Structure 1
Amino acid sequence: MARRATVYQVAERAGVSIATVSYTFRQPQRVRPETRELVLQAARALGYVPSGNARGLAKGRSQVLGLYAFDMFLPCDLSAPEVGLDDLVAQELDRLGDVRRFPLYVDEIQRGFELEARRLGRSVMLGSGTSRDSLGSIDLAGSVDGLAIFPGGAARDLLEHVGRGVPVVIFSSPPMHDPLHHITVANESAVRELVDHLVEQHGHRSLAFLGELAAPDIGARFTGFQGALAAHGLPVPEEPFDSTVLTEDSLRTLRAAIASGDVPDALVCATDQLALTVVDLLARHGLRVPEDVAVTGFDGIIAGRLSDPTLTTVRQPFVSMGRLAVRILTDTARGLAHPTSYVLPTRLVIGRSCGCS
């Protein structure tokens, strides 16, 4: 690969100082038009591109925002074997319309993040890694003015470490007493409304919650589930019916209940992705949704709207979450104050999976 042209080479070719080259790209109004044209001609001839990092050092800002995701991929995507390009293209075309894999909620938040960054004239740098890999987020934080993070299982001390260097926004994270910014939704009240619908509109008395409680937003949803059952005078479980993750060996408790013929009347799933997997599992065992079992989700991803039956769920304002994160990061970098926590509203979306027509 050819070496990148430098500011020194441009200055030598144009017969000007390196300061003049720098001003040409950073503050062109300070350079006479004929001199500016000489510099631009030299830059085009050499293929010179100004360094964003260098401009950032000069300004104290990079004009770039980072978006980092820990462990936010589907297991089936991460475990897929490497294939050649022809097979890869054929597989993708065969899966045309498979919205189970894309877009997920992280993709919708990313869209909002990029839209707002574009509106404000900012670039976006993406990064991803596992919760055990701390270097990726630290490296990305060193190249941007602010960083938004899908935390996954990332350690709290890691996030606070990154936050000491640049403004940090964490998605799907409840308010905490720390210097970071948090964006989440009203998880508890949303699930309460969902359970109220199942009990009051459909008369269900046997309800079960499915989902892993490691993520704080899922934990809040389970707390809302417990509170709703208590308000209706129904038995309140101390833990989810099935604390599952989406792997090939998941939903063991539900599988056992299907085998014994003791499936609850309504299954309240922590996410849409889990709810769609549950619908598939029930169908494989001859159980119909919603005739035999009601199933609900949470997130409002496109796949739930296109499934059969359509999914009753709670819709999160994903694009708004992404846009808000950009506003927090840009304002904070400029020294403007922002609340450390935002709890956004949700909306109950009624599909056919609960029994509504």
Structure 2
Amino acid sequence: MTTIRDIAKNAKVSSSTVSRVLNKDSTLSVSEETKSKIIMIADELGYQTMRKRKYKEQKNKHTGKVAIVSFQTQLEEQNDPYFLPLRQGIEEELAANGFHDIQTIRLPQVFTETSVDNIDGFVVMGNIHIDVLRKLGAENNNIVYVNYSGSSQTQEFDFVHFDFNKATRQALMHLASLGHNDIGFIGGAEHEYSLLGSRECLEQRREVYKDFMKEKGLTEYIQIYSGYFSMADGYRLMKKMISDGRMPEALFAASDSMAIGAIRALREMSLRIPEDIAVVSFNDVETSAYMTPALTTVKVHKKEMGKRSVQLLLERVKGRNIPLTITYPTELIVRESCGHHIKKAK
């Protein structure tokens, strides 16, 4: 068995230097060249740290502990009508399968090596960059990514998501079928989160909206107003659209929260929904069915996606190595805000 002394001899450094490098001692003052040399020699000689040896000995002894990785604070998550049911689905399915020791890792929390010890697997919620997955997956590939729409998807892990393209087109095609050409868009900015912070990434609903309007020869009607996925910004952006003097026939809002805010702004201007402007949105949160008029929206099966992510994780824990991607269908829930009942009456 290779020892630290063997590595020190080959690297021409002291045993204590080798030990501190391999144990990632941040207080050690040596050149990057020396660190790289020590790590390379250790790999060549097949050396494993005590932690790695311990992991190999225990890798088949499941602890019943799972980590949920999120980019949101606890307060943000509790107030988010999209991610809260996703989290609830995950926790319900974990509890149903006997997993009660759940650790939550919230970005930008720094991951120490001990923070992911003895964890059977990870469920990662939202647009979290692959560098986080690789950090978590250094010695454990039991990772399932749920509701990811970023740009760094890999075939290494499991994914549970829905088709943004198809879902958005469902909404836009419905508005077009009701005779609307002049369709405006309000939405939010999507961000991808990493160990170093966040960066804006492609917002797929906005891109599909632009493509759809171009395909239909309706580029002259394209109106895009972007902010945050919140009622407050839905209200603010709708006010801005009204003040700009270009009221569309119909509005597609990228989230129900934004649609609720937009409807408030429209009512303050004495505009009627759907008689003056039709509204369709996205998510189908519980409130959308109880509004006046009730909101037409694309239903995303959030809780079911959360539950399925846990089922995939359990398959991973039991030994499945082939990565899987599950794409959930969405459903257009037609209610009064789009004006379909008015067209039928005519």
TM-score by length of 2: 0.68
1:204-247 superposed Cα distances (whole Å, 9 cap, x missing partner): 11112221242489722223323332332221788x71111146
SS of 2:224 mapped into structure 1: coil
Match of 2:89 among 108, 112, 131: 112
d(CA) in 1 for partners of 2:231, 2:283: 22
Residue in structure 1 matched with residue 65 of structure 2 by the alignment: 64
Contact 2:65–2:103, Cα closer than 8 Å, also in 1: no
Q: Closer, same or farther in 2 for the Cα pair 1:133/1:348, shift >3 Å?
A: same
Contact 1:296–1:353, Cα closer than 8 Å, also in 2: yes
CA offset at residue 321 of structure 1? 0.7
1:253-308 superposed Cα distances (whole Å, 9 cap, x missing partner): 53232124322222211111211121122222322222222222111111111222
d(CA) in 2 for partners of 1:73, 1:227: 36
Residue in structure 2 matched with residue 312 of structure 1 by the alignment: 296
Matched, 1:150 2:125: yes
Amino acid at match of 2:158: H
Residue in structure 1 matched with residue 316 of structure 2 by the alignment: 332
SS of 1:67 mapped into structure 2: strand
Residue in structure 2 matched with residue 183 of structure 1 by the alignment: 160
CA offset at residue 146 of structure 1? 1.2
d(CA) in 2 for partners of 1:58, 1:181: 19
Q: Which has the higher strand share?
A: 2
Q: Closer, same or farther in 2 for the Cα pair 1:142/1:278, shift >3 Å?
A: farther
Stretches of structure 2 that go unaligned for 5 or more consecutive residues are 1-56, 193-200, 342-346
Residue in structure 1 matched with residue 147 of structure 2 by the alignment: 172
Amino acid at match of 2:224: F
d(CA) in 2 for partners of 1:313, 1:302: 11
Residue in structure 2 matched with residue 162 of structure 1 by the alignment: 136
Matched, 1:132 2:108: yes
Q: Closer, same or farther in 2 for the Cα pair 1:214/1:319, shift >3 Å?
A: closer
Matched, 1:283 2:270: no
TM-score by length of 1: 0.66
Amino acid at match of 1:163: G
Contact 1:192–1:227, Cα closer than 8 Å, also in 2: no
Match of 2:329 among 345, 348, 353: 345
Matched, 1:241 2:224: yes
d(CA) in 1 for partners of 2:221, 2:124: 32
- Decide which moves more: 211-220 or 104-113: 211-220
Residue in structure 1 matched with residue 206 of structure 2 by the alignment: 222
Residue in structure 2 matched with residue 206 of structure 1 by the alignment: 182
SS of 1:289 mapped into structure 2: coil
RMSD between aligned residues = 3.2
Q: Point out 4+ residue stretches in structure 1 off by more than 4 angstroms.
A: 56-59, 72-75, 215-218, 246-249
Q: Closer, same or farther in 2 for the Cα pair 1:320/1:225, shift >3 Å?
A: same
SS of 2:219 mapped into structure 1: coil
Contact 1:141–1:165, Cα closer than 8 Å, also in 2: no
